[in-house]
Amino acid sequence: MIEEEKYEFKKYDRKYENQFRVEKKLIQKAIKNATIEHVGSSAVPGLGGKGIIDIGIGVKKSDILHSKNKLEKIGFEFRPNGGDKNRLFFRKIIKYAGKERRIHIQLVEINGKSWEEMLKFRDYLRNNKGVQEEYAKVKKEGSTYAKGEGEKYRQYKKEFVDALVKEAMKK
């Protein structure tokens, strides 16, 4: 049995990029016309986070349902409560060093608002070390506060993240 990982802050690990590349190849085989990007904390060298590999997939609006079905066929579980009207959320849990490693996917319309926000937020963090350090502090505090509960963690950092996304969209 695989031991489930709790939401705990972990230092950045270069292995995240390798795991992303493995998943990207799998997704590219299933969804030919998708644009696939490494997003989230695991895509920002030095940031640290929950150790989850976050992947953004952009497709034409007309291809979203087809892409949803393809992701489910290759082992990603659709989570209806994890997304919103502009993004579909999926997860897959893999075994990594005897524990669970989560892969999260946000399936969105290519070049839509959600797509742009994901990429600009990631790039803003990559290019602003001071902001990255501030965000790491908020993430650590949120992890301690939430005691492993994902929803509490997300709510703790929501206001800060929303402000960063707004700032990133100005760039």
Does residue 32 fall inside a structural domain? Answer: yes
Domain that holds residue 104: 15-170
CATH classification at residue 36: 3.30.460.10
Does residue 4 fall inside a structural domain? Answer: no
Does residue 158 fall inside a structural domain? Answer: yes
Question: How confident is the prediction for the chain on average, in pLDDT?
Answer: 92
Does residue 98 fall inside a structural domain? Answer: yes
Q: How many CB atoms lie within 10 A of CB 18?
A: 11
Read off the pLDDT band of 2 (50, 70, 90): very low
Instruction: Give the contacts of 38 (CB within 8 A, at least 6 positions apart).
Output: 16, 17, 20, 24, 53, 54, 55, 56, 122
pTM for the model stands at 0.92
Percent above pLDDT 70 for the chain: 95
Average pLDDT, stretch 45-58?
94
Structure tokens at 150: 């994902």
Does residue 5 fall inside a structural domain? Answer: no
Residue 1 in this model has a pLDDT that exceeds 90: no
Does residue 148 fall inside a structural domain? Answer: yes
pLDDT in tens, 116-168: 999 999 999 999 999 999 999 999 999 899 888 888 988 999 999 999 999 99
Cα(156)–Cα(149) distance, integer angstroms: 11
Residue 11 in this model has a pLDDT that exceeds 50: yes
Give the count of domains, the chain: 1
Does residue 27 fall inside a structural domain? Answer: yes
Cα(141)–Cα(15) distance, integer angstroms: 24
Does residue 85 fall inside a structural domain? Answer: yes
Of 13-17, 65-69, 113-117, the one with minimum mean pLDDT is 13-17
More confident of the two residues 8 and 88: 88
